[in-house]
Amino acid sequence: MKDNKRIIFLTGATGLVGSYLLKILLQEGYKVYALARSKDNKNARDRVRDVLKFWDKDILDRKSHNLIVLEGDITEKNLGLGKQSIDLLKNEIEEVFHCAAATRFNAPLKVLRKVNLEGTRNILELCCEWRREGIFNKINYLSTAFICGDYKGIFKEDDFNLNQNFNNNYEQSKSEAEALVRKYIENGMQALIFRPSIVVGDYVSGKTIDFKMFYEPLHLLSLEIFSEVPLNTKTFLNLIPVDLAAKAIYTLSVKKNTNKVYHITSPKDFPIDYIVDKASSFFHFEKPKYVGLDRYKVISKSPAAKKILEIFIPYFNFRALFSSYKTQTILKKYSFEYPSIDDEFLYRIFKFCSDKRFIKTKSKRDTIKNES
């Protein structure tokens, strides 16, 4: 093992958490084989290098010799890699970080299963082959805390099947994929399962490469095209900055703990109406009226926006809380401390949204004009 460092195979290197993990792994001196696809007339290598440059140009400049980008696809046999590449990886790869996933809530289940379930199966089968013939040791699998579905109550690291229903096809496909990983663990695979909550921009700057999930409903509300939304003020949301999520995953992965489930969540939850209040104040938009699901009638100037907003209604009425007591206890042993997730942090992620014009900040004059 070169310099006592593991040689890593990483999927999802252009995704939010995967790309930040790539930054950390290179920074820590690991050699990383990153699997990626060509997309939007850009080849895999350029896509990975561009996102790494976004997070840290210095790391790209100094550590690019330890980054090997492989053109492939987790949905294909052998990940779309040739025999020569597979044989090379078999003799090199000691550990896998599987972060690739399809995350569109409203995508057909068949499409999501192809990536999230069958893609994970392809990764696991390759890991089994590498374990038999190579030096492979462990897989780190990125799940999601939202496999809890519509469960109401405290969702703990040890919980999995609580007879919950799922709010969308994404949650179902990720639950099925985690069930598959658990099956392989039962058959001897060494694995860690990480369940992040809502991943947002990094803690210091608010930067993000992805304005999905948390950001989309705020953008829709900022347009002031809804007179009312079904939002339960007893709902709490857990936001985890991408850099803290990736650092926590890395910290846990380097230890000898195996066959564990970790909740990658913040110590603090925000009431959802508090987040909307702060966003309304920052971006100067008028909040809609909050109503119960039983009284909700969609009133919108935009049918398309209405359809998008409906995807997020289950999360406006989300009643689970994620317990990460065991995870945080372990992290503290390794001197990992979460900084304050507070109003100042919300301000930083809002400011990045504003700077990038994803959510436009109205002037106070515009707000007064709209109210009159």
Per-residue DSSP letters for 242-305? HHHHHHHHHHHHTSS--SEEEEE--S--EEHHHHHHHHHHHHT-PPPEEE-GGG----BS-HHH
In a domain? residue 137: yes
In a domain? residue 70: yes
In a domain? residue 293: no
In a domain? residue 299: no
CA distance from start to end of the chain = 69
| Of 291, 318, 294, residue with least CA distance to 226 | 291
- For residue 109, give its domain range: 2-201+238-267+321-340
Q: Whole-model pTM? A: 0.94
At 304 the pLDDT is 78
| Of 168, 171, 194, 170, residue with least CA distance to 181 | 194
Q: How many folded domains does the chain comprise?
A: 1
290 and 228 Cβ atoms separated by less than 8 Å: yes
In a domain? residue 350: no
At 308 the pLDDT is 84
The residue count of the chain comes to: 372
Q: How much helix, strand and coil, in percent to the nearest 5, is found in the chain?
A: 45, 15, 35
In a domain? residue 365: no
CATH number for the domain that contains residue 41: 3.40.50.720
In a domain? residue 356: no
Q: pLDDT tens, position by position, for the chain (372 residues)?
A: 344 578 999 999 999 999 999 999 999 999 999 999 999 889 999 999 999 999 999 999 999 999 999 999 999 999 999 999 999 999 999 999 999 999 999 899 999 999 999 999 999 999 999 999 889 999 999 999 999 999 999 999 999 999 999 999 999 999 999 999 999 999 999 999 999 999 999 999 999 999 998 999 999 999 998 888 999 999 999 999 999 999 999 999 998 667 799 999 999 999 999 999 999 999 999 999 998 887 766 555 677 777 888 899 999 999 999 999 999 999 999 999 899 999 999 999 999 999 999 999 976 535 444 444
Helices within 82-214 (DSSP H only): 83-90, 109-112, 119-133, 169-186
At 303 the pLDDT is 76
In a domain? residue 258: yes
One-letter identity of residue 197: S
